[in-house]
Structure 1
Amino acid sequence: MRRCWAKRGVRPTAPHANGFEWTYLYGFVHPFSGRTDVLRFDAVDIASFNAALSMFKARFDPADERLLVVVVDNAGWHRSPKVVVPSGVQLVFTLPYTPELMPAEHLWIPLKEGLVNRAWPSLQALIEPLDQRCV
């Protein structure tokens, strides 16, 4: 849900569902070129973050020729000692409570356009248009 324009005196309505199912996006952005890579997972946890880092490394530096710096926030699944950082990847942590410093934060606004203020009959019904927006 989010704010929307409406005529004065008219209360806009938005359909909603009372049950919740979740999907999570992991986004990687090259700050100079704007090249992005978005991965969808069923969970946001240490195992999913490890898998996302491995996929990122395999896609962008399979020959292990570069140093890839990944800026992450201070979420528990980013800071855990159980996080397996692939060789050639370095995690840099932002200051606490500074989402504006995250290059990937700007990805989410256009991804949400057209998907918000709607009720989806199932998670699968949401995933198809979400995947199309990610492309």
Structure 2
Amino acid sequence: MKAWILPYTNTELFNRVLADLAHEFQLNRHQRVLLVLDQAGWHISHQLKLPEGLDLYFLPAYSPELQPAERFW
């Protein structure tokens, strides 16, 4: 699995990450991944191109206690 380290992010870059993730895991309608995300603007954009086999679940707004990575900041 690849890691993306970017100086910034936006919807266009997030679409590339999602496409790369779908390719890396060979996702399709039978092989699926559930990605848990916060509600950052680029995560909820109407311009997202969601690959087949990738489902998004959004954490409630203002709930950093549900996001384990928040402990590192």
CA distance in structure 2 between the aligned counterparts of 1:89 and 1:63, rounded to whole angstroms: 7
CA distance in structure 1 between the aligned counterparts of 2:27 and 2:18, rounded to whole angstroms: 15
Tell me, which stretches of 5 or more residues in structure 2 are unaligned? none
CA distance in structure 2 between the aligned counterparts of 1:63 and 1:101, rounded to whole angstroms: 26
2:43: which partner in 1? Answer: 78
Higher relative contact order (CA 8 A, sep 6+): 2
Q: Deviations 1:61-91 (Å, cap 9, x if unpaired)?
A: x252411100111111111100111000011
Identity of aligned residues (%): 28
CA distance in structure 2 between the aligned counterparts of 1:95 and 1:50, rounded to whole angstroms: 22
1:100: which partner in 2? Answer: 65
Q: Which runs of 4+ in 1 moved over 4 A?
A: none
Judge conservation of contact 1:41–1:48 (CA < 8 Å) in 2. Answer: no
Paired positions, count: 72
Paired residue secondary structure (2:16): helix
TM-score normalised by structure 2 residue count: 0.79
Paired residue secondary structure (1:71): strand
1:128: which partner in 2? Answer: none
TM-score normalised by structure 1 residue count: 0.46
| Partner residue of 2:13 out of 48, 58, 61 | 48
Tell me, which stretches of 5 or more residues in structure 1 are unaligned? 1-35, 113-135
Q: Offset of 1:37 from its aligned partner?
A: 5.2
CA distance in structure 2 between the aligned counterparts of 1:88 and 1:48, rounded to whole angstroms: 19
Q: Offset of 1:99 from its aligned partner?
A: 2.2
| Partner residue of 2:33 out of 60, 68, 71 | 68
Question: Structure 2: which amino acid aligns with 1:78?
Answer: H
